[in-house]
Amino acid sequence: MRDRFSSHQLPLLVSRVLRRITGAHSFLHWEGPRGESPGISGEFTLPGLLMFNFIVYLNEGSLLIMLAWLVPTMILGNIIPLIYFVVNFHSLVSHFM
């Protein structure tokens, strides 16, 4: 008995099945409910990062230090506020005690 699909047709079959299951055009393509793709979204990320730099300014009291934190924040994104809050946790909490 001959197989229904030959071995060279297997990738095409897998691709069709995955498209049918996921409903996407490609297995590696992802879209959110509003059509956004994963990654940095400038709509909310930039104001949040600028707000973080304002908190740095309030905590340190120096525009120069704020600008020094601004450069890596704009390059690396949301990991920099986490590092800043871990390193300066005591200083930040002491403002509220």
The verdict on residue 2 lying in a domain is no
Q: Does some domain include residue 52?
A: yes
pLDDT at 27: 44
Q: Is the pLDDT of residue 56 over 80?
A: yes
Per-residue pLDDT band at 41 (split at 50, 70, 90): low
Rounded to an integer, what distance in angstroms lies between the CA atom of residue 79 and that of residue 72? 9
Is the residue at 1 inside a domain?
A: no
Residue 26 belongs to a domain? yes
pLDDT in the model for residue 95? 86
Domain of residue 56 covers 7-34+41-94
Burial environment of residue 14 by CB neighbours within 10 A (0 to 12, 13 to 18, 19 or more):
exposed
- Total number of domains in the chain: 1
- Mean pLDDT computed over every residue of the chain: 74
Tell me the average pLDDT across 53-69: 94
Q: Is residue 68 part of a domain?
A: yes
